[in-house]
Amino acid sequence: MRINRKNEPLCIKKYRRIINIVDGVDSTLLVLSMGLGIGCVSLLSTVIAAPVVIGLEIAALLCGILSGSGKLIARRLVLKAKNHDEIKILAASKLNTIADYVTTAFIDNEITAQEFKLVLDELAKYEQMKKELQTGAQKAYGAVRIDEQTKNKLIKRGHEEARASFIKKLALESRSP
């Protein structure tokens, strides 16, 4: 229990740091995606740089996809950090309760079977509650995951949008003198 109490703050700190990095990268990709989109519109109006626009549109699409992936990763990391925080609080409270029982037992310089059983029961409660927290967190992680059908629908929609954008760009190029 003491090991958990020492390691949990380090885990939480690492998760928070990674979440901040992922959020920063996500924001950068989002801004980059918008900038590339704006650049494509301005380049498309010049007609001369129309072939460059296709590459920029693909880059903007990739930035958008990576940004969405970053959001999913950050959401999962937030759940993990929350789980570690809950376990840290649980460990601290159970450790305090066990310390109270031990202090009470040492008052008369003799540990009775009942006092020893209280300490063991408290330790068992800690293990059970920790396991419940971990299984609850696994269920929450499952909520973040998407099933195969939804994943395929999203990929198909992305392909259709990219194809429509590409056809639109080609149509605009063919109309230009």
The domain 2-145 having CATH identifier 3.40.50: the answer here is: no
- d(CA 54, CA 40) in angstroms, rounded, equals 8
Task: Write down the domain spans for the chain.
Answer: 2-145
Answer whether residue 4 shows pLDDT above 60. Answer: no
| Size (the chain), residues | 177
Confirm if 26 and 65 have CB atoms less than 8 A apart. Answer: no
Mean pLDDT of 107-111: 79
Task: Note the pTM of the prediction, 2 decimals.
Answer: 0.56
Residue of 3 and 58 predicted with greater confidence: 58
Q: At 4, which amino acid appears? A: N
76 residue type, one letter: R
